[in-house]
Amino acid sequence: MFNRSRRNLAHWFTLSMGSILILFAGVVYYQRAVDCLEVTDRLLYRKTGVMAANIDYRSEQGQEVVDLSNVPILGNYAPPVGSNLVYARWYSATGTLRQFYGMQPPEQLQYTAAFETLRPNAVSDNAQDTAWLRQLTLPVTHNGRRLGYLQVAVPLTEARADLHELLRVLLLAVPLTLGGIGLVGWCLSGLAMRPIRESYNQLQRFTSDASHELRAPLAAILSNAQVGLLSPIEAGQPKHLRLKKIAAAAKSMNTLVSDLLFLARQAGRLDPTSLQPVNLNGLLKDTIVTAPVQLAAQHLTLHLALPDEPILIHGNADLLRQALTNLLINACKYTQAGGTVWLRLIGQYHRTVIQVEDTGIGIPASDLPHIFERFYRVDEERTRETGGSGLGLAIAQQIVEAHGGRLTATSIVGEGSLFQIELPLL
């Protein structure tokens, strides 16, 4: 129980911290991408600006002429050393290509946005062209008149290499940090569970000690009442009836104390060295013929359904018999005369299922989630009729869980209940 809670705590801690970490890594990556692009854009804008500043505009024989001869790269000047421009293009105000440097451009300007990121092969069909490009299309104006468009592109190789490097670091650092977080979570949840474990152990010890101490006086009360009943008092006399009541009350308290002692002592998983191979077919056959079950089932039909193949598990036969007895006695107790109770054993691929089904009064849906709690009884009226302390199902569940199994219940009021034990196979 504690290990499961510790695992859950560590799991949720890792999950929440991990999500924050991954989110943070995502934000860092995104921010770096934005920064890289900003640096590239600033550089591209500066270069394009220098080119645009060198464009001349004059009127020749009544015609307006744009002179690009002084424009670096596009004009007569050779590209400056170290320039990484992939292409430069000049389009007229109507968007027709006039001059270009670099790869063959489209004849007509395809203007979508000032800055644009172009995927490899988006600007040419050349299969070798694998570089991502950043392109700026700058409208050039003179005295409020549009002269044309200058389109320039630079490769994004450096920025992408920078981002790849960051991604590599993040891909290595995030899983490592996640592992660290998991480890820290496991240690922290261990620390958090310690006081809970201690107070639980204290409670268990108290229950165990109190039950143990109560056993002796109870046994004394019971034996005295039984001796008193043996002495010659006429049956039906008030004294005789009182002694009978004392003996009955002492007996039920004795059962209650034994149940409490059992619950306090039998906590957690069973020690694997104490487990024996148990033949469930034989165990079910033995349980159904025991005196308490037969007594409870006097007014009912009891069916046993076993598979042909024997089913073996690792477990403690006495404890499993106790769990089954509790379920069978309940099924009989809460089923009216003439009803039917089935005990089934089903072998499945990786587990074994034992079912106790009855055609009894059923359990309301609102009570179903609570019936395995200690001292929980569905309603006082039915308990007054049938007796019971509300510990039977808690004990059965504790035994099943001690075997690494699961006990579940489904029920329909007025139609019956089905209790199912799932156990891992040998």
Pair type for strands 351-358 and 301-305 = unpaired
- How do strand 56-60 and strand 416-424 relate by DSSP bridges? unpaired
| 29 vs 376 by CB, closer to ligand ADP | 376
Least distance to ligand ADP from the beta carbon of 30, Å? 56
Q: How far is CA 362 from CA 133, 378, 383, in A?
A: 73, 10, 14
Q: How far is Cα 358 from Cα 84, in angstroms, rounded to an integer? A: 84
Q: Which 178-217 positions form the footprint of ligand ADP (CB under 6 A)? A: none
- Minimum distance, C-beta of residue 228 to ligand ADP, in the bound complex (Å): 28
Q: Which of these, 193, 190, 186, 192, lies nearest to 10 by C-alpha position?
A: 186
The answer to whether 392 contacts ligand ADP (rule: CB under 6 A) is yes
> Number of residues in contact with ligand ADP, rule: CB under 6 A?
22
Residue 134's Cα: distance from chain center in Å?
Answer: 44
- Is residue 224 a contact residue for ligand ADP (CB under 6 A)? no
- Alpha-carbon distance of 31 to 12, in angstroms, equals 28
Q: Which of 119, 382, 412, 426 binds ligand ADP (CB under 6 A)?
A: 382
Residue 331 sits in the site that holds ligand ADP (CB under 6 A): yes
> d(Cα 334, Cα 415) in Å, to the nearest integer?
11
CA distance 61 to 52: 24
d(CA 265, CA 207): 9
Report if residue 358 touches ligand ADP, rule: CB under 6 A: yes
Place of tokens 């006086």: 217
Question: Cβ contacts of residue 91 below 8 Å, gap of 6+?
Answer: 97, 98, 109, 148, 149, 151
* Span near ligand ADP by CB under 6 A; candidates 47-55, 126-134, 267-275, 386-394: 386-394
Shortest distance in whole angstroms from residue 393 CB to ligand ADP: 3
Among 137, 330, 359, 398, binds ligand ADP (CB under 6 A): 330
Query: Other C-beta atoms within 10 Å of 18: how many?
Result: 17
75 or 388, CB closer to ligand ADP?
Answer: 388
Start-to-end Cα distance in the chain = 22
With contacts defined by CB under 6 A, name the span among 3-11, 73-81, 198-206, 327-335 that binds ligand ADP. Answer: 327-335
Nearest-approach distance from CB 240 to ligand ADP, in angstroms: 28
Which is closer to ligand ADP, CB of 360 or CB of 405? 360
Identify which of residues 311 and 393 has a Cβ nearer to ligand ADP in the complex.
393
Q: How far is the CB of 286 from ligand ADP (least distance, A)?
A: 21
Q: Is 360 in the site for ligand ADP (CB under 6 A)?
A: yes
Q: Do 368 and 409 touch, CB atoms closer than 8 A?
A: yes
Among 40, 334, 421, 423, binds ligand ADP (CB under 6 A): 334
d(CA 399, CA 188): 30
Given 89, 134, 377, 403, the residue binding ligand ADP (CB under 6 A): 377
x-or-dash string of contact with ligand ADP, 402-421, rule CB under 6 A: ---------------x----
Q: Of 71-79, 119-127, 293-301, 370-378, which part binds ligand ADP (CB under 6 A)?
A: 370-378
Give me the torsion for CA of 67, 71, 75, 76, rounded to 10°: 110
Q: Does 154 bind ligand ADP (CB under 6 A)?
A: no
Of residues 159 and 363, the one with the C-beta less far from ligand ADP: 363
How many CB atoms sit inside 10 A of residue 139's CB?
14
Length of the chain measured in residues? 426
Q: C-beta of 406: minimal distance to ligand ADP in Å? A: 17
Q: Please, how many CA atoms are within 13 Å of residue 92, restricted to the half-sphere of its CB? A: 9
Which of these ranges, 264-272, 305-313, 326-334, 347-355, lies near ligand ADP under the rule CB under 6 A? Answer: 326-334
- Comparison of 2 and 342: residue with beta carbon closer to ligand ADP: 342
The structure tokens listed for 259 are 């149940």
DSSP SS3 for 50: helix
Minimum distance of ligand ADP from residue 363's CB (angstroms): 5
The minimum distance between CB 402 and ligand ADP, in angstroms, equals 17
Among the residue ranges 24-32, 57-65, 146-154, 356-364, the one whose residues contact ligand ADP (CB under 6 A): 356-364
b (16+ CB within 10 A) / e for 83-92? eebbbbbbbe
Task: Please give the residue ranges that form the binding site for ligand ADP (CB under 6 A).
Answer: 330-331, 334, 358, 360-363, 371, 376-378, 382-383, 388-394, 417
